[in-house]
Amino acid sequence: MRCEVVAVGTELLLGQIVDTNSSWIGENLALIGIDSLFQVKVGDNFGRMEATIRQALERSDAVICCGGLGPTQDDITRDVIAAIMGVEMVRDDTIAEHIRDIFEGRGRPMPENNLRQADVPVGAATIAQMPGTAPGLVCPLTIDGEDKVVYAVPGVPHEMREMMEGTVLDDLRRRSGETSIIHSRVIRTWGYGESALAETLADHVESLDESGHATIAFQASGIEGIKVRVTAKAESHAAAEKIIAAEVELIAEQIGDHIFGYDDETMESVVLGMLRERGLTMAAGESLTGGILATRITALDPNMEVFRGGVVSMVGDLDGEDGATIAARAARDAIGTDIGIAVIGPSDPDAHPPGTVFAAVALPDGDHAKTVALPGVLSRIRSYAVITLLDLLRKRLDPAD
């Protein structure tokens, strides 16, 4: 089954907004086995929108239109789809009522043209999820005797995602005749390069390919490490989960503590969780990283219950792993926490390979330090250094892993 994506909006063509929606949709279509061979951006122009959607319907089974569902005269996606379906628009009273309620709830008067959003092509269904004032649409139609479908979702990313996940992806799978469930899990790893990780798991991936039960894909994600996505197809969600759990266990046996988390977990969310669980507080000293560590952690711990404080300063004569350890202890003692961590650069960069950083953690049961040479420009080295330090702490908090 093929599904094209049409992103609507003159602001996309003018580069005022980057179209991230099509990428997200393409990724999620691929995950359920649907090909997206073309993705087109087109401005808010009736003729060009109509031509684009018609062409997409000629070469594909389904089209997802993203954007152009707002209340202004520019927003004509509804009208264009009605024209292609060859039908009139009719006002959906339930939607109209809902839009009125939203404005009342905000205590604001509703401009009358907002009710345009409640106009629906005859024969189209509205999408149940409606996080904003624009309803999404499922518009079935027949082209040259073939059943096809056009979906309309808003351009606001979180509204689009909610409708895609709640309705469109399932509807596409149903239409594709696929009855099995596709489910996937992402294993988050740190410390491997992409090719080294692929090599380590090569035999396993090969045997998987033969069995056909699951597939594995690698995705290099910069300071987020390498993501390993395990995807399984099965008759039920439970069966797919079981295949994935078995896969994850096999992979964990091979790459062990390079795995720091799963799915939406990040290095800092994992470390914060471990500290919370153990009732430990932490402070950090940063020179090279200039506050990035504090920024990332306080985003998840805004009241600073676990991360009690950070010091950003040049460390003067401190150097090497010993220097980082002194900085970690100093942060711990200054703020009065259970744990101190620190990352510093060399005092004489010329005496070390480019990108050398020293990371140290001062724990209740002793200190641990690590030296690494990180690749890239300074901004990249700074970010990598933060993750390197958090990874050192993670491994020391859970040495049994």
Of 116-124, 180-188, 200-208, 306-314, the segment contacting a copy of itself by CB under 8 A is 306-314
Identity of the residue, 120 or 335, whose beta carbon is nearer to a copy of itself in the bound complex: 335
3-state secondary structure 204-257: HHHHHHHHCCEEEEEEECHHHCEEEEEEEEECCHHHHHHHHHHHHHHHHHHHHH
Question: Counting contacts by CB under 8 A, is residue 308 touching a copy of itself?
Answer: yes
Task: Give every CB contact of residue 113 below 8 A, 6+ residues apart in sequence.
Answer: 71, 72, 73
Identity of the residue, 22 or 126, whose beta carbon is nearer to a copy of itself in the bound complex: 22
Instruction: Please pick, from the candidates 304, 338, 347, 380, the single residue that binds a copy of itself as defined by CB under 8 A.
Output: 304
Identity of the residue, 5 or 69, whose beta carbon is nearer to a copy of itself in the bound complex: 5
> Site size for a copy of itself, by CB under 8 A?
55
Q: CA–CA separation, 148 vs 292, rounded Å?
A: 49
Task: Please report, as residue ranges, which positions from 26 to 85 form the binding site for a copy of itself (by CB under 8 A).
Answer: 26-28, 30, 36-43, 45, 48, 52
**Nearest distance, CB of residue 249 and a copy of itself, angstroms:** 27
Judge whether 281 and 378 are in contact, CB under 8 Å.
no
Owner of token pair 């907004």: 17
Q: Which two tokens stand for residue 97?
A: 């009522």
Question: Counting contacts by CB under 8 A, is residue 122 touching a copy of itself?
Answer: no
**Nearest distance, CB of residue 256 and a copy of itself, angstroms:** 27
Q: CA–CA separation, 83 vs 325, rounded Å?
A: 70
Instruction: Please pick, from the candidates 134, 137, 168, 293, the single residue that binds a copy of itself as defined by CB under 8 A.
Output: 293
* Helix-helix angle 292-300:378-397, to 10 degrees: 50
Task: Classify residue 19 by its DSSP letter.
Answer: -
Instruction: Please pick, from the candidates 313, 322, 354, 398, the single residue that binds a copy of itself as defined by CB under 8 A.
Output: 313
Closest CA to 399 of 366, 374, 371: 366
**Nearest distance, CB of residue 354 and a copy of itself, angstroms:** 14
Question: Counting contacts by CB under 8 A, is residue 196 touching a copy of itself?
Answer: no
Task: Give every CB contact of residue 386 below 8 A, 6+ residues apart in sequence.
Answer: 223, 289, 292, 293, 296, 343
3-state secondary structure 58-77: HHCCEEEEECCCCCCCCCCH
**Nearest distance, CB of residue 42 and a copy of itself, angstroms:** 6
Question: Counting contacts by CB under 8 A, is residue 17 touching a copy of itself?
Answer: yes
**Nearest distance, CB of residue 287 and a copy of itself, angstroms:** 8
Identity of the residue, 38 or 89, whose beta carbon is nearer to a copy of itself in the bound complex: 38
Instruction: Please pick, from the candidates 20, 207, 236, 254, the single residue that binds a copy of itself as defined by CB under 8 A.
Output: 20
Task: Give every CB contact of residue 29 below 8 A, 6+ residues apart in sequence.
Answer: 3, 35, 36, 169, 172
Beta bridge partners of 286: 312, 343
Question: Counting contacts by CB under 8 A, is residue 290 touching a copy of itself?
Answer: yes
**Contact residues for a copy of itself (CB under 8 A)?**
12-20, 22-28, 30, 36-43, 45, 48, 52, 219, 286-288, 290-295, 297-299, 302-304, 308-314, 335, 378-379, 382
